[in-house]
Structure 1
Amino acid sequence: MPRFNLTQLRYQLSRYQQRRRSRRQLLTLNDHLLKDIGLTREQACQEGKQTFWKPKHQDKRALTTQRRD
């Protein structure tokens, strides 16, 4: 039978709660605010409707593309 560390469990639960909260808030943003953070409405809906236990989806193109100012 696996042993659970209470500290690790508490940490994981707080990560789930934060992920759930931020995804719900993402769904409430208007188009102007979404544009400010560089997301389309479609991307926000995709991320916002994911279940809280799944980690954030990372686009491989975003990881390879660097911003030039």
Structure 2
Amino acid sequence: MVRSLANRVGDLLDRRRSRLALLEMTDDQLKDIGISRCEAHREGLRPFWD
């Protein structure tokens, strides 16, 4: 049970780091992955549990 909880928390933190990374990308990088600046901003500001 503790391991399952630790895995879930780790997944949530990974998701948050990924979302924050979107906010630091250049417009060209976002274009490469098919995301607009607006979409990156919206995704980057979502709470980690969402």
TM-score, normalized by length of structure 1? 0.70
Q: Deviations over 1:28-60 (max 9, x none)?
A: 001000000000000000100000011xxxxxx
Greater gyration radius? 1
Q: RMSD in angstroms over aligned alpha carbons?
A: 0.5
Q: Tell me which residue corresponds to 1:45.
A: 41
| SS at 2:35 equivalent | coil
Identity %: 40
Point out where structure 1 has 5 or more consecutive residues left out of the alignment: 55-69
TM-score, normalized by length of structure 2? 0.95
- Could you say which structure has the greater relative contact order, defined with CA pairs below 8 angstroms and 6 or more residues apart? 2
Q: Tell me which residue corresponds to 1:14.
A: 10
Is the helix fraction higher in 1 or 2?
2
Structure 1 outlier segments of 4+, above 6 Å: none
Point out where structure 2 has 5 or more consecutive residues left out of the alignment: none
